[in-house]
Chains A and B, each alone.
Chain A
């Protein structure tokens, strides 16, 4: 394997591993092309730690030629003295865990560090672990993915009157970041779509992303129009949007930039829908932070959480200064506005920012969770993520290349997906009975988006995934999460279906730091997990009792247990 050239030292004995929530352990460290494997050699313990190298965000190494080292174990001091040197590698993971390895031997330490540095950020996607992961429990021939737009369309009979499935993008030539099939108004033909695509950044012409069954209104999404400085316009684009609100008096355009940002975008070829050309559309500008600012916000927050300071004022001012919770607030209230327009005001909405691959997806997803009960089950939520993030072309590869610890120069990194999960968690906390999945699912997704055994989040869009043969050569995360055992752990025992919309409160007092994620590796999170476990047990116990004392209720109780 070509990875071997990056591995100078594959095995080191007598390594001490320190990790949160566990006592330090001594054992053997082993590095492979994709993993760091530590196996405990303490008596009576057979603990193994398997860490995906891709999960490593940054490492710090320090080596010393020592005679002064105060080892944790007395015999450690001895062996270190014999080799005359040792080193320490601090590993900071993308899931915010921090590990420390004390490695005897300076050279071994440096070799290991170098291997980690190289192997944790391989550029070539086809070398990533998902292409090598072959669990015995699954076969590559298993179904990949949960749904497709074709299937989604054929299931949504209500759509068929006014909407059609277009395959204008079947070879990804019209819009490289869109899937092969999209849903558009029936009255627009493919030629028109091609023209509209030329008028929208990255070819992301307006497509349907949500149909509100209660009133037939829709959410469309796209990228910004390329009006440019000389205010170009595009008749086909106008016609397409007119076709969207056909029969209704008006529609809204929610632009996730401030008015000023939108106007400035003209200088670089972008722009916004002018009133004169889109007379029946009312534009609402809602500034949402994106890109680098969001990444920096995450970095600041993680830094604040990692600080062991005992000073309350300092913590609160750092929390404020990170602005992360402000971003959560903005995202939820913009999504609330979007849902308000559709559900309460009864009008269709077009959402876009500039590229239409980040904040656009964020608020359209949240709005669907707020309005649509079918998105709130475990399957429903995963299907929503598949449709609105994976297939809709959120560039996971670029956005999740690094997380909060990395010292690498920021390029395209931005924790938009993490922000989504945080917002969903806020919804979950405010409506503990309305969502069919658990916090554990959100945590799992937060980890998998950055480093995964599965191919689901590989690549930036469907085109790249097709080229790499992701479907043929990797396993699907969403399918794996729905297997019975996983389903048990990722479903919400309290879930109770409700048809009503769940309107989140966006008062600052109602929004909280997502402890489960940001303070995941601290002991008190453990108490909260215990509470969740207790809830699960109570409900299961209740289900069993209901089952055993009343055979007639068998089916319902099974439902409970299968949740």
Chain B
């Protein structure tokens, strides 16, 4: 609270730039401990916009203009708000408060520690047991006579950033594990990520070896040998180094590097060439800029897309996953994946491979399990990468954003293969940044345990699971060919496109486009109801046994087609070249994400209906002076 210099400012103008809004709305700005809240003055709408402080990525103050001073709020979900405050002093206060509030210094300041939904202690504990990784290993058929759970890392003795429970080959004894861990960067020794029951091949992960130019380690060599032996059908394993070869070689000078094929018998080294976190950070900034371009020409847009390199990186990650999946499913060869520390690119490649290999991870629950296993539990540095606390900006990078986008690109290629829809992916993306739940807090399991997050915060997974109806892809059918078996995507460049739903809010929030998905969900729901009803009727017929049936009485249900969402009333786009700011306001955005208002559901805000104002025509030369 001490950071809020002014809790309330009146007569503020807010422009949600990312929603394509053209005219600012006037209202009152409130600063709470957790949210920036803007309430419109317009008595008819009283529209509220809520922005969580932890979602703010930057606060910028622009030079004062006669109408007042301006603050620009950029969010981690790529929304942009422009706030115009009449008094410069107020503006300064708002700016200073927001700068401080959006950069918490301690975990204790984070929203999840004050977020208190109306549940009791038991329910909270239950929420954490929703996610059970042991069950997932069991589903893979583990432990078995090839792979066993090891206690080597209990109390995080061997590797601080690993979980306490891990699966290793049966022949890997504790001395081998400990020795191998000493030879691996940050002690991240080879451990199992996914076991493919059909071929008995496995996907394993670790960090780079501390080999330098000539170093070797018997235990590590024995460890890789054990990995190979754990797959009876094969006489070698792939070691996939997800870095560009040049980077891997450079690491040798620092006493790290990659496996020397002369020292390890029976490995095949394969470099993929995913760039490092710094390249990705600047690439994402470029694609955000592309999404923010106001009236780009097709050339500007495509050039911007190419120049950002973003799709190239997405493709590299998908290619890595595909290589692993093919090795495991087609060749039956186990794969050991690493990058430098084995928590960024490795997590990406392994989890994409799992998605491709196993239909389970293409379900709603499956994707949660996968993220919990390969990211949360294996020690991905969520707090550093997603800037939960004020820290080193060089540690920030959209690593999991890229994984989520890979899944989206796949779902575009295989529209019937995923149980979830785009909304689910966007929701996950949002919660990774929001700090509303404890799931993604901290950088590893140990940190989360030390912070006692299980007692002090809530888990996001059961919340998402509760809402699964709105995250379901109506085209998904588990028994369909697309949904089954190994997914073999095409990774030719033309198969990739910009994820408009995430990066281009301007388009997204122009009044609702027709959504066949929503329509189909209704169709499906109604079909199920009808089926049930039909079954009921048949039972009744059987029961009545020949008595005449009065259909009219029995059936009072709606049989008209489900209503599609309404079309917007007017063009949101203008077919002319804009030159100055038009005096026209499109309907308010319908989607308001992250209105994670404590206690109150977000539904109400979602229901802000469209008020189709008649836009002014606006052609060149002031032709239409309406």
A residues apposed to B, CB below 8 Å: 282, 284, 305, 308-317, 319-320, 323, 325-326, 329, 333-334, 336-337, 340, 344-345, 430-434, 494, 496, 498, 500-513, 515, 519, 522-524, 527-528, 530-531, 534-535, 538-539, 541-542, 545-546, 548-553, 556, 560
Contacts and interface: CB of A to CB of B under 8 A. Distances in A.
Given A509-B500, A535-B520, A502 B567 contact: yes
B75 interface: no
Contacts of B572: 503, 505
B539 interface: no
5 contacts: A326-B297, A344-B615, A507-B573, A539-B523, A553-B559
A496 B492 contact: no
B169 to A, nearest CB: 35
Interface string B405-419: 000000001111100
A552 B551 contact: yes
A519 B497 CA distance: 14
A508 B534 contact: no
B516 A319 contact: no
A550 B306 contact: no
Contact of B552 (A305, A430, A552): A552
Given A308-B492, A316-B305, A549 B414 contact: no
A195 B143 CA distance: 92
A385 to B, nearest CB: 23
Given A284-B619, A496-B564, A534-B416, A509 B302 contact: no
B317 to A, nearest CB: 12
Q: Which residue among A500, A510, A546 has the maximum number of chain B CB atoms within 10 Å of its CB?
A: A546
Nearest to B477: A534
A316 B523 CA distance: 38
A545 B573 contact: no
B516 A326 contact: no
A333 B303 CA distance: 21
A550 B415 contact: no
Nearest to B415: A531
Contacts of B530: 542, 545-546, 549
A524 B305 contact: no
Contacts of A522: 490, 492
Contacts of B533: 549
A316 B571 contact: no
B302 A316 contact: yes
Given A329-B298, A531-B416, A549-B534, 8 more contacts: A433-B514, A496-B561, A503-B572, A503-B573, A505-B573, A527-B416, A545-B531, A549-B537
Interface in B472-518: 474-475, 477, 480, 482, 489-498, 500, 504, 506-507, 510, 513-516
Contacts of A310: 491-493
B523 A542 contact: yes
B575 A333 contact: yes
Contacts of B624: 345
Interface of B: 291, 296-303, 305-306, 309, 311-312, 315, 413-417, 474-475, 477, 480, 482, 489-498, 500, 504, 506-507, 510, 513-516, 519-520, 523-524, 526-527, 530-531, 533-534, 537, 551-552, 555, 557, 559-561, 564, 567-576, 614-615, 617, 619, 623-624
Nearest to A332: B575
Given A329-B298, A496-B561, A524 B555 contact: no
A70 B315 CA distance: 35
Contacts of B574: 340
Contact of B514 (A313, A431, A534): A431
Contacts, number: 197
Contacts of A494: 516, 519-520, 564
A502 B530 CA distance: 32
A310 B319 CA distance: 11
A336 B573 contact: yes
A326 B573 CA distance: 16
A511 B305 CA distance: 14
Contact of B561 (A431, A549, A552, A560): A560
A503 B570 contact: yes
B298 A541 contact: no
A506 B573 contact: yes
A430 B513 contact: yes
5 A-B pairs with the lowest CB-CB distances in the bound complex, closest first: A315-B493, A508-B301, A503-B571, A336-B575, A531-B415
B507 A531 contact: no
Contacts of A538: 474-475, 520, 523-524, 527
B507 A340 contact: no
A550 B533 CA distance: 10
Nearest to A512: B497
B527 A545 contact: yes
Q: Which residue among A312, A431, A551, A553 has the maximum number of chain B CB atoms within 10 Å of its CB?
A: A312
Contacts of A496: 561, 564
Contacts of B615: 344
B498 A509 contact: yes
A391 B539 CA distance: 59
Contacts of A433: 514, 516, 519, 564
Contacts of A551: 551
B312 A509 contact: no
A541 B530 CA distance: 10
B493 A312 contact: yes
Contacts of B297: 326, 329, 508
B555 A552 contact: yes
B617 A344 contact: yes
A418 to B, nearest CB: 18
A269 B235 CA distance: 80
Contacts of B515: 432
B559 A531 contact: no
A560 B560 CA distance: 11
B534 A548 contact: yes
B397 to A, nearest CB: 20
B492 A513 contact: no
Contacts of B298: 320, 323, 325-326, 329, 508, 511
Contact of A530 (B416, B500, B552, B557): B416
A316 B500 CA distance: 16
A509 B301 contact: yes
A524 B474 contact: no
Given A433-B514, A546-B530, A549-B555, A313 B312 contact: yes
B302 A508 contact: yes
A334 B311 contact: no
Q: Which residue among A337, A506, A509 has the maximum number of chain B CB atoms within 10 Å of its CB?
A: A509
A15 B416 CA distance: 38
Given A344-B570, A509-B507, A556 B561 contact: yes
Given A326-B297, A334-B575, A549-B534, A309 B493 contact: yes
A549 B555 CA distance: 8
